[in-house]
Structure 1
């Protein structure tokens, strides 16, 4: 959509909904990745000025991602749980306004890029002192959201509440199904899925899982953590999923020795998480979910490539992501070998 056209449509709609004149005094496109579109808005009304972000889908989002309605509802739950995240402001569920559903949230300061968070000198002080503990404590707060707290039955269904005893087996079954839908064979993924079936741990409790808690999905500046972003892959699951996802090799941006997001150490993250949650972190479960995470991302990368190769949604970013599949396959097998040798 032309940005001028978007500006006019948002002005008209918010004026109608909020029952007061609304003027979008500034609007520009933000980076949103392969699946999302984000726009920064400066909004002026009779009583206030607001700096907001409009978040909507591109032509085709990943099949496993939440709708904009559900993502907004999750953001509300997480915000109420005390997680540092942008304030949810407004949800529009109808596609007729701008061509797809969207929501507005508070615009916060900071940057989310991997290179900035892991290497920029501006963050040296924060990186050495509170970055790990801030992210661990906010994740622990996010995990206080449990199924009983979700009163919206439709949202609870979308968050895929699975009985605790079946959760891991269902996760593996879902990955088998996604793998079978790909046009090419991936024997390394098949091998890893078989290993996971034989070595699945127990789960202590089903909680809300961010689903993409990693470097790139939180905003920071020299003053510290500004906010956790992007709840489009949220679901009910095992708390160790999120911890493992943040520790995956692919999110370290070249700083391989810093296993937590490319900026921290596991023991420090585990300790800070335990201090806030009062629940011990199980290193074996983290590694198991790290293997699962690599396989999930390997399949997701292959799916992104297929969107490009099939002609459904052409894009160089989709094609380049697809090339990462082999890296995740290798990492998953390396982790399995590491666990087997430790026995």
Structure 2
């Protein structure tokens, strides 16, 4: 669908739903990654002018991404918990309007690119003072969302209800199932899965996990953090999972000495997270979930490559993501070796 057709369809639909004339202007395509399409647009009505982003699916999904309905509902939960994130504006669950369900959210300022957040001189003052604190405190607020607080029973179950006793077993089982779906063998991943089964720590409590909390999903500018983005992989899980994902080598964008997202140090992040949450961070659990995260991303990147190689969704981006699989396999095994040598 071209931009003009999308503009017309959204304009007609919102006019019908909101029962007032709506004009859509200044629409253009934003980068949405391998799975998502995002469009910036302005909505003009009798009562307001809103700058929003339209978010919809591009094609295939990575692992078990949420539907647009569930992603929107999670964004509402997180926004209500005090996390700095774009305000959810409108949800359309029907595919008939533009060819897939979509939702609208507030358009916020800033950039999310890894190179900008980790290296741009414009962010030097913020990076040296509040960046770690803001990212840690917002994650702690996100983790205050727990299953008991969610009244939408459908959403509660879509986020995969688990217990502290079975969560890691379920997570490893899901990864084995995804691995079995690949057409080629990955013995390094099998080795890591076996190690995780025999070294699984306990889970202290089940909380809402962002699922992709990393550099690239934070909008920032010289004024600081503007918002946390992208809840398509949210689920119930262990708080250490999000901390570990942020610390993964792949999200440091070349600044390997800054283990938190390429911009911060672990001890500072742990301290700020603990200050907001009142809950201590367990370094072993973070490393365990870092190993799990590398295995998950290794499988996910192999899945993306398969989308390209099978001809289902041809694209150089999918192919380039797929070639990273070996890097994640190596990193997971390196972390295991470090733990084993430290004993």
Q: Which residue of 2 aligns with 1:147?
A: 147
1:1-343 equivalence runs, <5 A: 1-343=1-343
Taking the aligned partners of 2:182 and 2:153, their CA distance within structure 1 comes to 32
- Contact 2:63 2:300 survives alignment (8 Å): no
Residue 183 of structure 2 aligns to a residue in which SS?
Answer: coil
TM-fit CA distance, 1:246:
0.1
- Contact 2:84 2:227 survives alignment (8 Å): yes
Taking the aligned partners of 1:64 and 1:307, their CA distance within structure 2 comes to 15
TM-fit CA distance, 1:43:
1.2
Deviations 1:61-85 (A, max 9, x none): 2240000000000000000000000
Taking the aligned partners of 2:59 and 2:247, their CA distance within structure 1 comes to 30
Calculate the TM-score normalised by the size of structure 2: 0.99
Taking the aligned partners of 1:318 and 1:258, their CA distance within structure 2 comes to 27
Residue 166 of structure 2 aligns to a residue in which SS?
Answer: helix
- Contact 2:37 2:56 survives alignment (8 Å): yes
- Residue ranges of structure 1 left out of the alignment (5+ in a row): none
Residue 225 of structure 1 aligns to a residue in which SS?
Answer: strand
Taking the aligned partners of 1:330 and 1:231, their CA distance within structure 2 comes to 28
Deviations 1:230-257 (A, max 9, x none): 0000000000000000000000000000
With 151-160 and 30-39 compared, the bigger mean Cα shift is at: 151-160
With 81-90 and 61-70 compared, the bigger mean Cα shift is at: 61-70
Taking the aligned partners of 1:322 and 1:69, their CA distance within structure 2 comes to 28
Deviations 1:127-166 (A, max 9, x none): 0000000000000000000001111111111100112101
Taking the aligned partners of 1:311 and 1:158, their CA distance within structure 2 comes to 30
Taking the aligned partners of 1:168 and 1:40, their CA distance within structure 2 comes to 39
Taking the aligned partners of 2:78 and 2:72, their CA distance within structure 1 comes to 10
Residue 172 of structure 2 aligns to a residue in which SS?
Answer: helix
The root-mean-square deviation of aligned C-alpha atoms, in Å, is: 0.5
Residue 73 of structure 2 aligns to a residue in which SS?
Answer: helix
Calculate the TM-score normalised by the size of structure 1: 0.99
Residue 263 of structure 1 aligns to a residue in which SS?
Answer: coil
TM-fit CA distance, 1:107:
0.1
- Residue ranges of structure 2 left out of the alignment (5+ in a row): none
Give the paired residue count.
Answer: 343
Deviations 1:253-282 (A, max 9, x none): 000000000000000000000000000000
Taking the aligned partners of 2:238 and 2:293, their CA distance within structure 1 comes to 12
Taking the aligned partners of 1:120 and 1:163, their CA distance within structure 2 comes to 42
Deviations 1:209-250 (A, max 9, x none): 000000000100000000000000000000000000000000
Residue 53 of structure 1 aligns to a residue in which SS?
Answer: strand
